[in-house]
Amino acid sequence: MIKKFLSLQWKEFTRSSSFQKGIAIKILLIIAALYFIGMAILLGSGMFFLIREIYSDKYNIEVDPLVIVNNFLIFWFLLDLMIRYFMQQMPVMNIKPLMTLPIKQKTIIHFLLGKTTISFFNILPLFIFIPFSIVLLVHEYSALHVIAWFISVMAITQVLNFLNILVNKSNTVFYIIVGLLITLVGLEYLYINEYFDAFKISALFGMLFNGLYNHPYLVVIPIGLAIFLYRLNFDYLNKRFYLDSAISKQIKEVETSDLSWMNRFGTLATFLKIDVRMIWRNKRPKQVLIMSCFFLFYGLFFFTQKSYDNMPAMKAFASIFITAGFLFSFGQLVPSWDSEHYKMLMSQNIPYRKYLESKWYLMVLAVFISFILSTPYIYFGWDTYAMIAAGASFNIGINSFVTLFGGALNRVPVKLNEKAKAFSNTQGFNPTQLLIALPKMLLPVLLFYIPYFLTDYNLNAGIITLAVSGAVGLIFRNFFLTQIEKVYQKGKYKTIEAFSEN
């Protein structure tokens, strides 16, 4: 029966109407997967030697690389669980027709859960820890202990897999995981830099994972926990596996809000209200909004590292991202967000220009709010904050128009009511967006670096050029919107046809 399920899944995949359309995306995803697998193998093969070399050169001490890996495994698992929350989905299978056939309910559920165990998130750790375990064996670590430790790590990976299935609809759990990860990383950072006598979190959790290596019989604990969670998931699905619950309509109470204050924007208010309500009521745009807030912390990866002090172009790159979270994540899916009612919108007696302006104002407002929220970066110096301000100017005056133009080439719909994770869902994505993303990221770096280099490494020259480019874009705002409108109008009916096919 499992063989029959696999055959049905393959036929569904190859015979779907979107198979040919999405082949380019699938190729890109395969290339990305192969890249991450290759990097994982390199990491797993070189981790032992890299750890030993770092501690020998920097701290002048000899360490056991396995102990160091065990100390930081907790951070790996928490990060893994956080990424799974957004990226991993329950395998989609058309089970409604199967409910009326003489197929055992338990068989279908076992197949669904079995598919999750071989997801990319569970396979990738194999390419890290198998090479690492082989290196341990080559260096004469106990074979029994290494194998037991490896099985434990893989079992914990499956624990995270089944745990994610149970909690993936709970935002509260996600916030707890993020808060815990930030707290642990913060305490570890404070301990390393000796700001005060904080707990060495890595060593505390390292004792647990070292115990799994030192006492091989403890492997039964993670294995038992994985089996327990598998059974818990099985019972959860088994109790809800009924035809009436599958075909019945879900009634939801919709929260209303008074948006009459937007009427001051005239005809733009119609589209602005639609966007605000869409973000408020639907999971995917709401998660995109939440994730865009994380872009505000992007600068911490660059501004806190002394190695980037002599690389101002990279800081300029980071400055663009700090205020461009919503613009990049939400803006790139214009007009796909409106795909379900796009035909209705286009039939209204409202100029297309107003539709585009409403999207532009929404992105500009998000950039402005992000810039206000980035004020704490003054801590790193006024030059840094000036660079962020210049990046915000570029995002408003240039990147907003480039993003709108890219939307004219995007005819892949987004189904807001589909139960899918915001960032695993490839709806609305196409390879053209990758090409459109290049000028949004590379152009500001060039605009900063060229005058910076020509003026004998004058930081102010690069900042001023970046800021002025955004101001020039605002001056020619009407010209840009007019040209973008022409592109949208030219492909209007092709877009309607593409959205109607799905």
Residue 447 structure tokens: 């605009």
Q: Is the pLDDT of residue 169 over 60?
A: no
- In the prediction, which pLDDT does 247 show? 44
Report the alpha-carbon distance of residue 194 to residue 205 in Å, rounded.
20
Q: Does the pLDDT of residue 180 top 80, yes or no? A: no
Q: Is 258 inside a domain boundary?
A: no
256 assigned to some structural domain: no
Q: Is there a domain that residue 8 lies in?
A: no
Read off the pLDDT band of 115 (50, 70, 90). confident
Domain that holds residue 439: 265-500
Mean pLDDT of 73-100: 72
Does pLDDT of 2 surpass 70? no
On whether residue 130 sits in a domain, the answer given is yes
Q: Judge whether 14 lies within some domain.
A: no
Say if residue 131 is preceded by a cis peptide, omega within 30 of 0. Answer: no
- Domain membership of residue 16 (yes or no) is no
Which of the listed residues 180, 213, 247 is the one where a domain comes to its end? 247
Please report the pLDDT score of residue 292 as a whole number.
81
Of the residues 247, 281, 303, which one is the last residue of a structural domain? 247
Convert the pLDDT of each residue in 5-17 to its tens digit: 777 767 766 665 5
Range with the largest mean pLDDT of 74-88, 107-121, 221-235, 266-280: 221-235
User: What is the pTM (predicted TM-score) of this model?
Assistant: 0.62
Residue 300 and residue 242 share a domain: no
Domain endpoint, select from 247, 277, 312:
247
Does residue 471 fall inside a structural domain? yes
Please check whether residues 305 and 221 belong to one and the same domain: no
Contact at 8 Å (CB) between 319 and 388?
yes
Q: Is residue 353's pLDDT more than 70? A: yes
Among 58-62, 386-390, 457-461, the minimum mean pLDDT is found in 58-62
Residues 95 and 69 in one domain: yes
Q: Are residues 437 and 352 in the same domain?
A: yes
> What CA–CA distances, in Å, run from 497 to 175, 351, 413, 484, 492?
40, 20, 11, 20, 9
Average pLDDT in the 381-399 region?
Answer: 90
The better pLDDT of the pair 411, 118 is held by 118
Q: Residue 34 has what pLDDT?
A: 86
- Which pLDDT tens digit goes with each residue over 396-453? 999 899 888 887 777 777 776 554 444 444 444 455 566 667 778 888 888 888 888 8
- pLDDT band per the 50, 70, 90 thresholds, residue 325: confident
Residues 162 and 235 in one domain: yes
Quick one: 46 and 190 in the same domain?
A: yes
Q: Does 211 lie in the same domain as 79?
A: yes
Q: What is the rounded average pLDDT for all residues in the chain?
A: 79
Are 306 and 188 within one domain?
no
For residues 204 and 341, state if they share a domain.
Answer: no
Q: Is residue 2 domain-resident? A: no
Tally of domains in the chain? 2
Same domain for 474 and 345: yes
Q: What was the pLDDT predicted at 223?
A: 95
Share of the chain above pLDDT 70, in %: 77
Which range is least confidently modeled, 96-100, 277-281, 382-386? 96-100
Residues 76 and 136 in one domain: yes
Q: Are 74 and 184 in contact (CB under 8 A)?
A: yes
> Using the 8-state DSSP alphabet, how is residue 94 labeled?
-
**What span, in angstroms and rounded, lies between the C-alpha atoms of 66 and 61?**
15
Q: Closest Cα partner for 419 from 163, 92, 10?
A: 92
First and final C-alpha spacing in the chain: 31
Asked if residues 421 and 89 have their Cβ atoms less than 8 Å apart, the reply is yes
Based on the fold, state whether residues 133 and 186 are members of the same structural domain. yes
